[in-house]
């Protein structure tokens, strides 16, 4: 990025990973994604006020494009201005602000905490709490899920978010520092809020969903390679089966990207992910990924989290190697 040298960006990205490992997403200051979400809701309300011809498919897509462009541009430019201002005040303040913003775009500790919020009640046999906390991280109905299905929901969420909450933001941070990482986070937030294929968002959220798919395309494939490497390094996991699962199953997923990490994790663990989900009482059959070599157990949540952290350790090792080459 033109503000900092690449050595500085790599250093700040590595520091951001450590910051996230330690702090995760603290309650204060307010997380930038909350402000992005407020902007999206406000813009949606303004853009969807018109009725009749203003809500025809063509108009809705055009408004969705406006929402997408305005959100990513505002997110990028706001962070850029804040970093430039901090740097103008003091060089080290600029480093800190840039590092902090990068750390807010990743969620390694946050993913682990969300997974263990389900795992801990499961371990104690408290299914009601496990169902409640699973409902916090997935959109499917969880009131009737058994332990095996709760485990599937959590493992799928952790696997998918290794792309969204780890590799993609780090990839864009290395390309363009905190402003580009925040642009990615805004893209992902748009997809999570309006990128649905239901009646309300099929046209209005079309641009957001396609843009998020495009931004995740390269990072998702990098994630697949990293997960196979992690499976190779961790005892009890199968790298060969992980790679084979990506080739065999990833394309079956409706997302061009999410099937890669989910297939990789399923193959490494020797379990099957996907299957029947229920949304608002309506059943939906999702592509089945991996081979059901054994039943899913609550321990698979732990294995998935270990793979998440394994990926972050491999990335950190790569960044440290780059720094050694650049500085020495």
> pLDDT of 129-153, one tens digit each?
999 999 999 989 999 999 999 999 9
> pLDDT of 222-263, one tens digit each?
999 999 999 999 999 999 999 999 999 999 999 999 999 999
Residues 6+ apart with CB under 8 A from 217: 256, 257
- Rounded to whole angstroms, what are the CA distances from 178 to 4, 66, 89, 250? 11, 23, 18, 30
Instruction: Please state, in angstroms and rounded to a whole number, the distance separating the CA atoms of residues 46 and 115.
Output: 36
Instruction: Please state, in angstroms and rounded to a whole number, the distance separating the CA atoms of residues 211 and 255.
Output: 13
> At 289, which helix (H) or strand (E)?
strand 282-289
Instruction: Please state, in angstroms and rounded to a whole number, the distance separating the CA atoms of residues 232 and 109.
Output: 23
Question: What proportion of the chain, given as a percentage, has pLDDT over 70?
Answer: 98
Half-sphere exposure in the Cβ direction for 66 (13 Å, CA) = 11
Q: Is 275 strand, coil or helix?
A: strand
Identify the burial level of 234 via C-beta atoms within 10 angstroms of its C-beta, where 0-12 means exposed, 13-18 middle and 19 or more buried.
Answer: middle
Q: Where in the chain are the domains?
A: 6-327
Q: What's the whole-number mean pLDDT along residues 170-196?
A: 96
């Amino acid at each position: 990025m033109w503000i900092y040298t690449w050595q500085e960006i790599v250093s700040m990205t590595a520091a951001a990973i450590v910051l996230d490992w330690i702090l995760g997403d603290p309650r204060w200051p307010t997380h930038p994604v909350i402000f992005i979400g407020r902007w999206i809701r406000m813009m949606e309300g303004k853009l969807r006020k018109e009725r009749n011809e203003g809500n025809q498919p063509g108009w809705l897509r055009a408004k969705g494009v406006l929402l997408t462009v305005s959100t990513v541009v505002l997110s990028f430019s706001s962070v850029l201005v804040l970093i430039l201002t901090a740097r103008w005040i003091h060089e080290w303040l600029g480093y800190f602000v840039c590092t902090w913003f990068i750390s807010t775009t990743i969620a390694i500790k946050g993913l682990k905490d969300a997974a263990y919020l389900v795992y801990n009640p499961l371990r104690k046999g408290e299914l009601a709490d496990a169902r409640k906390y699973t409902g916090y991280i997935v959109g499917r109905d969880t009131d009737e899920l058994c332990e095996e299905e709760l485990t599937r929901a959590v493992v799928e969420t952790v696997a998918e978010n290794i792309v969204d909450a780890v590799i993609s933001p780090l990839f864009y941070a290395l390309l363009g520092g905190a402003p580009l990482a925040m642009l990615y986070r805004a893209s992902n937030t748009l997809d999570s809020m309006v990128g649905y294929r239901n009646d309300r968002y099929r046209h209005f959220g079309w641009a957001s969903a396609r843009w998020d798919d495009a931004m995740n395309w390269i990072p998702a494939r990098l994630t697949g390679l990293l997960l196979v490497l992690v499976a190779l390094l961790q005892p009890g996991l199968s790298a060969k089966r992980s790679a084979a699962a990506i080739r065999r199953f990833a394309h079956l997923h409706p997302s061009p990207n999410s099937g890669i990490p989910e297939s990789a994790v399923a193959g490494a663990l020797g379990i099957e992910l996907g299957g029947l989900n229920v949304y608002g009482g309506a059943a939906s059959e999702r592509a089945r990924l991996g081979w059901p070599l054994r039943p899913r157990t609550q321990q698979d949540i732990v294995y998935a989290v270990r793979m998440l952290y394994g990926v972050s350790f491999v990335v950190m090792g790569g960044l440290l190697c780059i720094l050694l080459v650049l500085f020495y």
